[in-house]
Structure 1
């Protein structure tokens, strides 16, 4: 009777990069083991896309006459899209159908966007420089976004037999 051999799926370049960025989290001391590789990856990718957002906001404020809210919105939406692609491929390494994930991600994005736009403008109107207002707001939405991404958007799908 022939035996079947199962060849493991080869990791993509994005998956290998994600593992390289986060594998050290598995070697943390026991008291810090609550910091998972997925959280580390989310924080690294979130920081990268936030810096992208800030660069775009600065460029739009400097080189265009667009209203402040429009500049914040364009930078945020572009960075959020980039963050989705990077987290899906590098961090959560999801192979689930994109449709449902994208819909759930859009809900998280809409909630985050509304909060970001209003709070950033409120802080800016209160006298904070635009970039400081945006950083303060990002700190608030980061935790919500991780929880939404980890447990709802990129949740592990169970396979039915």
Structure 2
């Protein structure tokens, strides 16, 4: 399976977890849409990070660096998702279509962010490192 295929499969699994949580929080527990969308997205954080790191990108990037970068990306995605879902929920399309639209948008920019920034391998430096004796 190609890298894009693995990314999409991992994303589909992550979306199922996120969407299911959004449904439970909003439709079962009665939370406001913006809160439900934001919390569902954050709760799926660990699952999504792990599956994208291991299945989507098979990354060996240092966990600390990757996790900090992933956290920054999640913060951006959380705000974008909550705004998109809330705005579309105010139309006849409803929250579910809003979630699909938000997921489509974040899927596109996340692929590039994951590949070139979050899970990118260390780039070799041009000069050797200097070690103290």
TM class by shorter chain equals 0.7 to 0.9
Distance in 2 of aligned mates of 1:142 and 1:80: 15
**TM alignment of 1:104-119, pairs within 5 A:** 104-119=69-84
The runs of at least 4 aligned residues of structure 1 exceeding 6 Å deviation read: none
Match of residue 9 from structure 1: none
1:134 aligns with 2:72: no
**2:29 aligned with 1:64, yes or no?**
yes
Normalised to the residue count of structure 2, the TM-score between the two structures is 0.85
Distance between the aligned counterparts of 1:140 and 1:152, measured in 2?
18
Q: Is the 8 A contact 2:33 2:85 kept in 1?
A: no
Find the partner of 2:10 among 38, 41, 45. Answer: 45
SS in 2 for 1:157: coil
| Deviation, structure 1 residue 80 | 3.4
Aligned to 1:155: 120
Structure 2: unaligned runs, 5 residues or longer:
129-133
Q: How many residues align?
A: 126
Alignment RMSD:
1.6
Match of 2:86 among 121, 143, 156: 121
- CA deviation digits over 1:40-78, x for unaligned, max 9? 111111011111111111111232132221111121112
What is the alpha-carbon distance in structure 1 between the residues aligned to residue 117 and residue 11 of structure 2? 17
Distance in 2 between the 1:110 and 1:60 partners? 20
The TM-score normalised by the length of structure 1 is 0.72
Q: Secondary structure at the match of 2:92?
A: coil
- Structure 1: which 5+ residue stretches go unaligned? 1-21, 23-36
Supply the distance in 1 between the matched residues of 2:98 and 2:17 (Cα, whole angstroms): 16
- Bigger shift: residues 144-153 or 130-139: 130-139
